Each structure stands twice: as structure tokens, then as C-alpha cells.
Structure 1
Amino acid sequence: MLKDIFSKRRRYASIPSENGKVDVPEGLMQKCKGCNKIFYRKEIKKMLHVCVNCGYHHPLTAWERIDSLFDEGTFVEWDANITSTNPLNFPDYIEKVEKDRKKTGLNEAVVTGKGTIDGQETAFAVMDSNFRMGSMGSVVGEKIARAIENARKESIPFIIFCASGGARMQEGVLSLMQMAKTSIAIKRFSDAGGLMVSVMTHPTTGGVSASFASIGDYNFAEPGALIGFAGRRVIEQTVREKLPQDFQTAEFQLKHGQLDKVIHRKDMKDTLSTLLKLHKKGGEH
């Protein structure tokens, strides 16, 4: 009898295809990039895309990040319709941007807006590495600068989640100019007494790591995030030395004083909520 029960379970769980191989419905399973174990996608989604076996933090989309942090129904998006042009007439650039728009449902590699976290109002920006690897072009820099300006005008904190391969090469020096633009906006915001929290996720590199990502009042990161300017190979070839195995990880940066804390994703909302309450104007909790 037990044999019959288990044989039925196997038969229903694994339906052979015409070539005799077992077909698994597309999108049902997900392999962890950290330990290579396979999980049901819906199970790892419930854990905020953190592997229950090894703790690897898989990337979140911009809207998954927003849903994981903000009180339901409170997030209002800013500047959703700003889109990129092709100022340098770079071949196939607009076609590639349009492809990413269709793939992600986003107009650009950052979503900005405001909402409440446990009732605490804050301005917000979140970069999405699924869109042009989160690269920073004119629109990304403009949206972030506008979000910071809005936070200054409304006298509310500003939180940014960074994920980027760096400046967008198809826009040349115009993308590099965004480093200065965003940094100046943050200086104006800071001079006005604003609170900025930066959270670096995997990866945060290039011009993004060298500008707004690393100049918050609090600089945090998720476990295992790659954080740095140039790539490991370039640095090793330049200094002609072998770098430590954990070089440029969030944990390495914390150990060398470049971060304030490495925060597990499950603890992120509580940490941000506590900070917002501590810095609430008037000291009211």
C-alpha cells in the first residue's frame, strides 16, 4: 500500500515529456546562485529572495523592494515618465533601452517617490539592476537629484537603495556629470538638516559607488554585496598584488570602516523604521 502511495506521488509530480525526460513547468523552480540548491520559486519569494540554506541575497526588482519596505498603499511614484534620449547617437542604444523597458516594465533604472515605513514618511529611490545593469545615465541622475530636492523642500528623510554597474557608457561624459549633480543635491539637502540613508546592494560599482552611494549619513549594505569602483582584475594588474578573497564585499568594507552596518534583508525594514523614528523632527517617537 505504501509503495502504491509513493508511486502515485512520483507519477503526479514528474510528468515525462515525449522524449522521456521529466518536464518541470517553466518558472516553478529557482537555483540559488550561492549554493546551487534548487527551491520552489514561491518559497524563496516569501523569504524576500534570500536563500534559506546559505543566506545568499538574490536581487530584488525595484517594485519588490518597495513592497517589502513601505506600508501598503502609501508609496507615490515621482517622475515616472522621464525617459532617455540618445545624445551621442550611439548605435542601437534606444533599441536596447526599449528592450529593457519591455522586460522590466520600468522606464529607467531607478524608481523614485515617497511613502511611509511604519507610519514614518520618507522620500525614496531604488535602482533596478535588471534595467541596463542599473547603469547611471542622464535620466537616472536627474530622477535621483529631483527626489533629493523634493525631500529637502518637504523636510523629510531620503533613503536610496543602490545597485549599479556604474556610469552608462552610451551617454559618455553626460553620464559622468550625474556624479556631480547628485552629490551637489545631497550637499544642499545635508546643509538643510536632511537625513540621508544609503543602502548598497549587489553590485554597487563605478561612478555610483564613487558618488551618491557612499555619502549618506548612514551607509549600509546587504550581506555579500559587491561594492567598489574598478574591477578586481584591473586593480590586481595595476598594483601587481593578489587581493584578499573577500575584497570588495560588504563584509570587507565594514571591516575597513567604509560601512556603518551590514544588514540582512529580513531586518532592513525594522532598521530603517527605527532610524526614521530616532531622527524624527522634534524628537517625537
Structure 2
Amino acid sequence: MSMGLCSEQWPGFEVTKDWNGADQVAIRSPRGASVRVCLHGGQVVSWRNDRGEELLFTSSKAIFKPPRATRGGIPICFPQFGNCGTLEQHGFARNKIWTIDEEAPRLNYGDNNNNKASVDILLKPSEDDLKCWPHCFELRLRVSLSMDGDLSLISRIRNVNGKPFSFAFAYHTYLSVSDISEVRIEGLETLDYLDNLSQRERFTEQGDAITFEEEVDRVYVGSPCVIAVLDHEKKRTFIVRKEGLPDIGKMHDDLLLLQRQTKSSRNF
């Protein structure tokens, strides 16, 4: 491969093509877990445990054709989330072609007793992007898979020209669950939330855990660093850990979890 990333040079890594010809990077743990990242959108499109079970959801209505974003996996929302600005819904990052950063240090299993493998991908604005959002940036996403199959995403947004700008960022995560009535979320009790079904009116969560009996579309403000998503039917628990992104949202239809941050800075 011309990209310099192949399974022979970097055991555990593989670059393939998706159904539209876009490059995908696959990381495979020696114990059987795997993650696949598509460079169209910089999007994690698959995450499997060591038993080969898919842990992310992809909608049956998903459109797998650029420039449309894929509904499923972990889309990256930047520089806005929702329809709150002048850009397309959830920003343009999920519709662009990212690149692999060949110069970034690439961790692999066993290197200096390392227990994970990771790859860095980059998004820089095109001339068309700068016309609709005139801020020069570099968005870096590091995708890592531990030996035991834990997935971690670390994002870095660099202000290239030093002029301050505001942005919103979200990991628009779709988790694969069984019947939604069998799912509960722990860790959001007593928090305030904005209800998108009631014109973003602010309420306080009253339940000991979040369950789903009707349509839900909320953003929980100032959420803790750890929450748990329990799927009783599959006897599976997702532990979501985060830092630097203060809010968490949830919706009924696909059980998506998002983390959002808005800030203005000269250097970050």
C-alpha cells in the first residue's frame, strides 16, 4: 500500500477499501477484538469484542455513499452539533475524507510492554470548507484498541492561525443493544437536562436510572466522567468514560450517546 500501513509492517493493522473505495483502517487485537475506522468521515464503523460480537449499531436505513454520512458507528460532529449554526446538520467533518498521519508515533501490541494499538487520522479544511467556515484548524483523532478490546478515542483540535473561534464537538455514538425496554443507563440521576422534545426546556432527572418507555431526546448537562449502559437481555454492560466533554445526550430510537463541548480559544 502506498499509505505505508500494512499488516506486514505493523502486525495488527490493515488498510482495506470500503464499498465506495474509501480507505479503512482495521486494528485487530491478538485476543480477537477489532475496530474499523473509515477515512470517509473519520468514523469508527465497527467495534467487535473477542467473541466477534458487533458492539456498534448501524441503521438499516443508512446510506453508504459519499457525501452522505453513515448513520451508525461513531460519527464525528464538528464544528457544530445539531442545526444550531449556519453549516449542515452536525457539521462537515463526518462528510469529509480524512488522512492517516504517517508521522505520528504508532503504538502496537507489545511495543515497550504496550497493551494497545492505535492510529492517528487527520482532517484539515479544504478551500471550500474555509469559504463556509473561515477558521483554519487541524482535527486529530487517535483511535486505540486495548489487548482486552477496550476502545478509546482521543480528539485534538489545533488552532492553526491563532485567531479565536468557537466550535461544538460530539462523538455521536450508536451502541448496539437488544430491545430498548431492556436497557437502563446509570450515572445520570439527579442531573439537569435539556429536553429537545419540549423546546429545550430544562428539567432535573428524578429516576435512580434512565429507562426507555417512550421517545427520548435529551442533553444532560455537566455529566459525570463515568456512566454505565446496561443491556439486561444481552447481559452486557458498556462503561463510558470521558474527560473534557461535559455533556451527554441520549435518544430513544437508536440509543445514541453523545458528548459535546463548545469553547473559544487561541491555542488548544
TM-score, normalised to structure 1's length? 0.25
Greater fraction of residues in helix: 1
Greater fraction of residues in strand: 2
TM-score, normalised to structure 2's length? 0.26
Choose 1 or 2 for highest CA Rg.
Answer: 1
